[in-house]
Structure 1
Amino acid sequence: MIEVRFLRKSGQLVAFTYEGHADFDEYGKDIVCAAVTAQCMMTYNGLDEVMKIRNVIDMNQDGGYLSVSIDSAAPDEKKDAQILMETLLLGIKAIELQHGNFIKLIEEEV
């Protein structure tokens, strides 16, 4: 099962992490893993390459783990990043709605 965790601070999303494998299908054919990975990487690339928002990324090169934090970004950067972060959250919720046996979504206020 994939666990996707979103952290909020003062109401703003400041980090997301996904860990694990969905085991929906065999490696290379797992549409749940592919969907989560694609959405998370798209969000990271938008934050990093397009918006140039300071972030910290940690990932397993073999897959199964990605963590992105914008907690150290400037307040205006965090505010601007909410569009991408909230969109990612909506996308993960949609995947969970369709494939809830393979993904667990956690939202925390820190």
Structure 2
Amino acid sequence: MIKVQVFRNPQGRIERFRVDGHAGFADYGNDIVCAAVSVLIQNGVNSIEALLGVSLPAVSREGLVDCKIPVLPADESDRVQLLLESMLYGLRSLAEEYPKHVSFADNVRQV
């Protein structure tokens, strides 16, 4: 199962996201769920870098992406948050469509 974890500050802004595991929907190379998750993450992170010029520090290896969102000026942060929310919307939709293969946890840090 792919586990998507989102970590937000008390104001609801994304501070970090972590995606790990394998969907197990089909054999390696034919797993459409795994491919969809990969595309959403790659597009989200690459869009932030290409469109906004913001590099997101991330640990990335087979079956894992762990990304911490840097502290940014307010206007830049708002744009990054919008693109991240779009990415997470897609991941949440996949978790709803394929609940045996993708889990989604959205965590808000308490003060």
Give TM-score, length-normalised by structure 1: 0.89
1:97 correspondence with 2:96:
yes
Distance 2:73 2:57 in 1: 13
**Which region of structure 1 is more displaced relative to structure 2, 46-55 or 93-102?**
46-55
Cα deviation for residue 21 of structure 1 reads 0.2
Give per-residue Cα distances to partners, 1:48-67, cap 9 Å, x unaligned: 2221124211100xx21112
Within-5 A mapping of 1:11-50: 11-50=12-51
Residue aligned with 2:42, SS? helix
**Counterpart residue number, 1:2:** 2
C-alpha root-mean-square deviation of aligned residues, in Å?
1.4
Give TM-score, length-normalised by structure 2: 0.88
The count of aligned residue pairs is: 108
Give per-residue Cα distances to partners, 1:37-78, cap 9 Å, x unaligned: 100010010112221124211100xx2111222133333322
Segments of structure 2 that go 5 or more residues without pairing to the other structure are none
Give per-residue Cα distances to partners, 1:72-106, cap 9 Å, x unaligned: 33333221112111111110111011100001101
